[in-house]
């Protein structure tokens, strides 16, 4: 994972400010202004962190979505669609898949625009 993070940092370059926040992503949002842009990469890893820490996923997701709705900055949230494949055989993977689906629904509801990217091709699901 550290190698992946380092690769992303190099790809983004010096013009980006990176904040690593494995649990409380909502705490970053109140400090942003109307001209700021935030890339949250990614909601799937954030959810995984909460799942493995045995946090209340519904409560954490509600707090994140409320903070996103209140944030005046432009926020881009990267997330993964985990419900398009087969149903996993183990309970933890099924719990994660279901929780990710619920989080994606909540994020889409809170968003002005939703874009599904598959094979590098964007499909606008909501907004212009």
What tokens does 87 get?
């149903």
d(CA 55, CA 33): 29
Query: Which DSSP category does 17 fall into?
Result: -
Which helix or strand (DSSP H or E) is residue 69 part of? Answer: helix 57-70
- Give the separation between CA 113 and CA 15, rounded to whole angstroms: 25
3-state SS, residue 124 = strand
Contact assessment for residue 93 and residue 111, using Cβ atoms and an 8 Å cutoff: no
Active site residues: 8
Residue located via tokens 């990267």: 78
């Amino acid at each position: 994972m550290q190698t992946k993070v380092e690769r992303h940092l190099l790809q983004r370059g010096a013009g980006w400010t990176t904040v690593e926040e494995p649990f409380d992503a909502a705490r970053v949002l109140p400090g942003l202004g109307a001209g700021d842009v935030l890339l949250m990469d990614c909601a799937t890893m954030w959810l995984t962190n909460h799942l493995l820490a045995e946090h209340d996923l519904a409560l954490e997701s509600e707090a994140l979505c409320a903070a996103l709705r209140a944030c005046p900055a432009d926020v881009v949230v990267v997330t993964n669609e985990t419900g398009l494949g087969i149903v996993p055989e183990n309970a933890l993977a099924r719990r994660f898949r279901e929780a990710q689906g619920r989080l994606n629904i909540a994020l889409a509801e809170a968003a002005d625009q939703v874009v599904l990217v598959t094979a590098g091709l964007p499909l606008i699901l909501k907004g212009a």
